[in-house]
Amino acid sequence: MQHRADRKRPAGARRWLAVGAALLTMACQGRLPTAAPARSAEAWGSLRRLPVASPQGFRLSGAPAPADGATATLDAAHVAGLTAAAADDPTLDAAQRRHILLWRDLAAGDITAARRRLAAAAPSAATDWLNDAGIAYAEWALRHGQPEDFEAALKALAGALNQADFAGAARFNRALLFQRLGLSEQAQSEWARYLADERSAAWATAAQRHLSALTPSPPDAARLWEAFAHCADHPDGPETEAFLASHLGRLVEGLGAAAEAFLTSGDEQRLAQVQRVADAARKRANERWGSDLAQALAGIQASGGASDWLAARRAFRAARQLYPIEGKPTAAEPLYAQARRAFLALGDSASALEAELGLVYCAVQRTETLQLDRLSSALLAEARQRGYVRLEGQALRVRAQLALRQSDAPAAVALAQASLTRFASLSDWEETQRSLLILSDAYERQGDSAAALRSLRELLDIGAQQGTNPRRRAQACAFAARTCAAAGACELGLAFAEEARAAAVGQAFPAFQLDAETLLATLFVKTGRFAEADAALDRAAAVLAGVADARARDVLALDFLPTAAWCRMALGDPAAALRLCARAAESLRRGRHDAYWPLTQSVRGAAYLALGDDRAAEAALRAGIDWMETARGRITKTPDRQRFFHRHADLYERLARIHAQRGQPDIALAWLERARARTLLDRRQASGKSGSGNLSPRALQRRLPDDIAAVAYAVGDHQTEVFTLDRQRLRHQTLPIGRERLAAQVQALTQALTNSSGDVAQARQAGQELYASLLSPLALSLEDVGRLVIIPDDSLHGLPWATLRDPQGRWLAERVPFSICPSVTALIRALEARPPDADAETLIVADARLSPAAADALPPLTGARDEIACLQSILGPARALAGDGAAKRQTLAALRTAGIAHLAVHGVAEPDEPLRSALYLTAADEDDGRLTAAEVYEQTFPRLRLVALSACESALGRPLRGEGMTGLAQAFLAAGAATVVATLARVEDRAMRDLMCAFHAAHQAGASPAKALQAAQRECLTQHPARWGLVIVLGAP
């Protein structure tokens, strides 16, 4: 059988491989090319002798195996030479050049550049560089943790498996990515398939090395105590310290069993061992539980109470076997109580408190939470008083679970993190893994899927190093599957769910199998595999029905019933969905369990609509909204509130569609308005201002100026609702285009605008398609509109609207001045924010001195000084902050008194973490100069009418339902700016300078911000739209 690597490559593959081989060989050897690169077989062969891999060890296309894990990296000079050489080769087409540059980025470890390259032009299924694209997605995902990026990596690598020249590398990379994710079963399967085909001994050795590192089992307890005994002669030596850093937690956990062995045998050496562990725990973590236990044991032995203590210990062990191991809390609870009473009677407070923890765990398995609240609070207080660090951490974790039951995810995060610090001090890896589960759950409830998945990957990493048990793996993989399902990363979610089901096999407590089957059902629904979803749902229902303990069954039903109802609704059975919702609602009410209430009400609404009862659907959705608003009011931090609302905004959207279908556009728009720009409205209410908050659309219309028309979009799965309003009229239309098609059209236009030297025909065509989809059906007479305000939704937040093109070939920027606003209410707020303030100063910030790290990553703004001079000539007397004066503290202080501000600095958007998007100011002793969106959200700029963010990507961020495009520009609106001018991409320094100077000249001449930008853009219409069409006005037009 001929090996894939020996088959003849297609011409395109041969060309880029030969070019890339020669270039990379020369770069790694320091011989920078100055002419067109060689493309000989000898050059490609020389590359095979060089160990080049990505930072995480993924196998680049055509690269040789690294020796002992070492990899070559390209330095800045080599990268520059390689870039120039690739540009000079006339035989390369755009895709081949892009691939070589992507390969260069990965070999140089510049993952940010590689990821940006994919954002500019994602690979199609037909491209021959899917393997390297998969590496770029994987490297980025491993750094930032977004499930969507892991999903993109797996899909790209799956596509590369179908390409004979790259299938081997793709299989290697899939196996390694599964391993990095902690999916050991999937990784083992992929490594086995890879090794069966690989003919390279070096690559096979690398694969075997990875395979041998897969998850170990926890160390045997007896051997652990033997190893600890060998440390007795050198209690403070480095070997002992290293041993305790890995195993102290397990030793502390085993003290009860060691105490039992002592009282059974009377062997004083056993007691001495207990005391040594207690001393180590007290020294390292100030843990006093072991010391109190050792002292109690000595007294019990002396007083003849050993038999009574051993009887209590047997009751305790029997209780622990019943719950949590077998999932029978009802039978376990009296045994825990019996053991606690006996231990207290014997004067053993340490063991009594451990039994009390068992009672707390049993209380978790009650639908009502009052007893859990009381018991866990008492346990936490006593553990703190006695200095029992491990028990304190366990009590904190239970309190975190209680907070999740009460829909207080931020409190759960804080409590879980506090528990982790306790366990870290004891090197207690088993308890750390348990707390990471709760922490990931809390992050996921907040909508922070990246943080949730990072926590779970940390858990699985600890398991890989320290050993883990199947129960913990099953839970971790189930939680990861749920996080992926919520983020839309369904193929990755299925991998985790299958892993969870495999790990749950043989477990006495059926909760793990129930979780796995329920998640499989959910993910099968999301991926259109309905027969498999139906079967998984039936299996899950059978598992739940088979739970013997009624209390445990009721608690498990809290999670299962709402999800099962959603699945049944998606499978086309609204009657079954309603029955499950009724059971779920009763269970949730009885247990005062809030977390699944909005899902239950949302499914109810959809089921009633499917059955033709829109009144009952409305009532269900209103009940869900009432709950959601109450829960949101308990959340104090802006990012947490934003993520929480994003998860539940569909309640408002469903209700709006009901009223739109009834022919009630004013009520429909009112519900949409309540679900938009929430942080802006919160800030207004917090400031005590009355005005635009919670006004009806009719009232908002009356406050619109005569020359403004607004168009509000609400994007659905299959159609888009549009509301057009001005001072006199409100109209509603339904457009026959849904979320997926719109996103594809937006991406096509965005990609066409990534390069100002690219083919303008592509931008024209993409702009025309979007105009036909979004504006032509509205029959707006744009010539009669003085200023247009667009209120986008979903992917439309990132759309460069100026470059939409009408059937006559006119750009939207030519036809009408417009602005983008997150809601009509926010528009009114911006319009009425404040009149011009004669005392407010004009501020210019430019030419910031970057920190060394930022200076290495960002190119110099060579036109900054010219921009200052140009603006000063236009704006007149202005306060200019440049150089050392452009630090964050000075800039924020100046913004508080400014009426107009212009910031000509670097900007970087972070779509995965939009509140980390930043403007780069001058670094100072107290900070690195990064002014983040999160920091701006917390500011108030009371006089600021206009701020121009003349920086790359300043209008980008992440679209969140309930907010809009969360990022820098939106943050400035929230902080008080009436109008923000910002950019949707990386922009050229000098082109931006010229556009901004023209904008300010028109604005100073009396034009409104939208009209001023239109005037500036009209001067540039002969240029490529990438040079002028990526600048937008947000807020008041």
Examine residue 169 and state whether it is found in any structural domain, yes or no: yes
Q: Is the pLDDT of residue 732 over 50?
A: yes
Q: What's the pLDDT score for residue 634?
A: 76
Q: Is the pLDDT of residue 784 over 60?
A: yes
pTM (predicted TM-score): 0.80
Residue 27 domain boundaries: 4-212
Query: Per residue in 545-571, pLDDT tens?
Result: 999 898 889 889 988 999 999 999 999
pLDDT (mean) for 590-614: 85
Cα 323–Cα 329–Cα 330 angle in degrees, nearest 5: 145
d(CA 358, CA 337): 9
Q: CB neighbours of 641 closer than 8 A, spacing ≥ 6?
A: 632, 635, 678, 679, 682
- The answer to whether 995 and 981 are in contact (CB under 8 A) is no
Band of the pLDDT at 33, cuts 50, 70, 90?
very low
Specify the higher pLDDT residue, 880 or 216: 880
User: Which residue in 812, 572, 829 sits closest to 693, CA to CA?
Assistant: 829
d(CA 41, CA 653): 60
d(CA 964, CA 821): 8
CATH (domain of 850): 3.40.50.1460
pLDDT (mean) for 818-827: 93
d(CA 793, CA 739): 10
Q: What's the pLDDT score for residue 77?
A: 64
Residues 702 and 847 in one domain: no
Give the residue ranges of DSSP H helices in 687-823.
697-702, 739-752, 760-774, 812-815
d(CA 457, CA 184): 12
Band of the pLDDT at 71, cuts 50, 70, 90?
low
If you ran DSSP here, which 8-state letter would residue 323 be given? Answer: I
Band of the pLDDT at 31, cuts 50, 70, 90?
very low
Q: What's the pLDDT score for residue 75?
A: 62
Examine residue 739 and state whether it is found in any structural domain, yes or no: yes
If you ran DSSP here, which 8-state letter would residue 691 be given? Answer: S
Reported as type and span, the H/E element at residue 708 is: strand 708-715
Examine residue 49 and state whether it is found in any structural domain, yes or no: yes
Q: Is the pLDDT of residue 11 over 50?
A: no
Band of the pLDDT at 519, cuts 50, 70, 90?
very high
Q: What's the pLDDT score for residue 363?
A: 94
Domain end call among 212, 232, 265: 212
CATH (domain of 712): 3.30.420
Examine residue 571 and state whether it is found in any structural domain, yes or no: no
If you ran DSSP here, which 8-state letter would residue 927 be given? Answer: B
Q: Strands 957-960 and 964-967: what pairing?
A: antiparallel
Cα 181–Cα 184–Cα 185 angle in degrees, nearest 5: 125
pLDDT (mean) for 185-208: 89
Highest mean pLDDT among 79-93, 545-559, 640-654: 545-559
* Residue 720, strand partner residues: 715, 735
Q: What's the pLDDT score for residue 92?
A: 67
> Percentage of the chain with pLDDT > 90?
50
Q: In this structure, what are the phi and psi dihedrals at residue 64, rounded to the nearest 5 degrees?
A: -80, 170
What is the domain count for the chain? 3
Examine residue 53 and state whether it is found in any structural domain, yes or no: yes
Give the full edge-to-edge strand order of the sheet including 918-920: 906-908, 918-920, 930-932
Q: Which structure tokens are listed for 47?
A: 């590359």
If you ran DSSP here, which 8-state letter would residue 941 be given? Answer: -
Q: What's the pLDDT score for residue 121?
A: 67
Cα 971–Cα 977–Cα 979 angle in degrees, nearest 5: 100
Distance spanning both ends of the chain, measured CA to CA? 69
Residues 755 and 868 in one domain: no
DSSP three-state, residue 765: helix
**How far is Cα of residue 354 from the mean position of the Cα atoms in its chain?**
37
Domain end call among 828, 863, 891: 828
Q: Give residue 169's identity as a one-letter amino acid code.
A: A
CATH (domain of 201): 1.25.40
Query: Per residue in 751-768, pLDDT tens?
Result: 888 877 778 999 999 999
Average pLDDT, the chain: 85
d(CA 627, CA 642): 16
- The answer to whether 821 and 1010 are in contact (CB under 8 A) is no
pLDDT (mean) for 203-216: 83
- Buried residues in 94-126 as b, exposed as e (16+ CB within 10 A): ebbbbbbbbbbbbbbbbbebbbebbeebebeee
Residues 816 and 856 in one domain: no
pLDDT (mean) for 511-536: 94
- Buried residues in 460-490 as b, exposed as e (16+ CB within 10 A): bebbbebbbeebbbbbbbbbbbbbbbbbebb
Q: Which structure tokens are listed for 106?
A: 């990965």
d(CA 410, CA 446): 7
pLDDT (mean) for 837-866: 80
- The answer to whether 350 and 292 are in contact (CB under 8 A) is yes
* Residue 947, strand partner residues: 901, 980
d(CA 614, CA 622): 12
Q: What's the pLDDT score for residue 620?
A: 94
Q: What's the pLDDT score for residue 24?
A: 39
**How far is Cα of residue 306 from the mean position of the Cα atoms in its chain?**
54
Query: Per residue in 168-192, pLDDT tens?
Result: 999 999 999 999 998 888 999 999 9
Residues 868 and 840 in one domain: yes
* Residue 721, strand partner residues: 714, 734
Q: What's the pLDDT score for residue 573?
A: 96
Band of the pLDDT at 381, cuts 50, 70, 90?
very high
Q: Which residue has the tokens 């088979």?
A: 546
Residues 50 and 172 in one domain: yes
Q: What's the pLDDT score for residue 161?
A: 93
Query: Per residue in 493-513, pLDDT tens?
Result: 999 999 999 988 888 788 889
Cα separations in angstroms, 319 against 237, 251, 859: 39, 21, 65
pLDDT (mean) for 1020-1036: 93
Reported as type and span, the H/E element at residue 912 is: none
Q: Which residue has the tokens 């549009």?
A: 722
d(CA 271, CA 258): 8
Examine residue 51 and state whether it is found in any structural domain, yes or no: yes
Residues 871 and 762 in one domain: no
d(CA 929, CA 849): 9
Examine residue 621 and state whether it is found in any structural domain, yes or no: no
Q: What's the pLDDT score for residue 47?
A: 39
d(CA 160, CA 168): 9
Band of the pLDDT at 913, cuts 50, 70, 90?
confident
> Percentage of the chain with pLDDT > 70?
89
- Buried residues in 407-441 as b, exposed as e (16+ CB within 10 A): bbbbbbbbbbebbbebbbbbbbbbbbbbbbbbbbb
If you ran DSSP here, which 8-state letter would residue 983 be given? Answer: E
d(CA 830, CA 1034): 10
Band of the pLDDT at 235, cuts 50, 70, 90?
confident
Lowest mean pLDDT among 40-54, 207-221, 462-476: 40-54
Query: Per residue in 362-375, pLDDT tens?
Result: 999 888 888 999 99
Residues 753 and 880 in one domain: no
Band of the pLDDT at 1011, cuts 50, 70, 90?
very high
Residues 840 and 803 in one domain: no
Residues 742 and 884 in one domain: no
d(CA 743, CA 797): 11
Reported as type and span, the H/E element at residue 608 is: helix 597-610
Residues 807 and 882 in one domain: no
d(CA 823, CA 694): 12
d(CA 456, CA 150): 14
Examine residue 721 and state whether it is found in any structural domain, yes or no: yes
Q: Which structure tokens are listed for 434?
A: 């348990």
- Buried residues in 799-810 as b, exposed as e (16+ CB within 10 A): bbbbbbbbeeee
Domain end call among 780, 808, 828: 828
- The answer to whether 611 and 574 are in contact (CB under 8 A) is yes
Q: Which structure tokens are listed for 139?
A: 């490297």
Q: What's the pLDDT score for residue 26?
A: 36
Residues 49 and 174 in one domain: yes
Query: Per residue in 699-720, pLDDT tens?
Result: 888 999 999 999 999 999 899 9
Band of the pLDDT at 694, cuts 50, 70, 90?
low
- The answer to whether 1025 and 803 are in contact (CB under 8 A) is yes
Cα separations in angstroms, 995 against 870, 983, 1000: 11, 12, 9
Residues 15 and 145 in one domain: yes
User: Which residue in 633, 576, 630, 564 sits closest to 600, CA to CA?
Assistant: 564
Q: What's the pLDDT score for residue 677?
A: 85
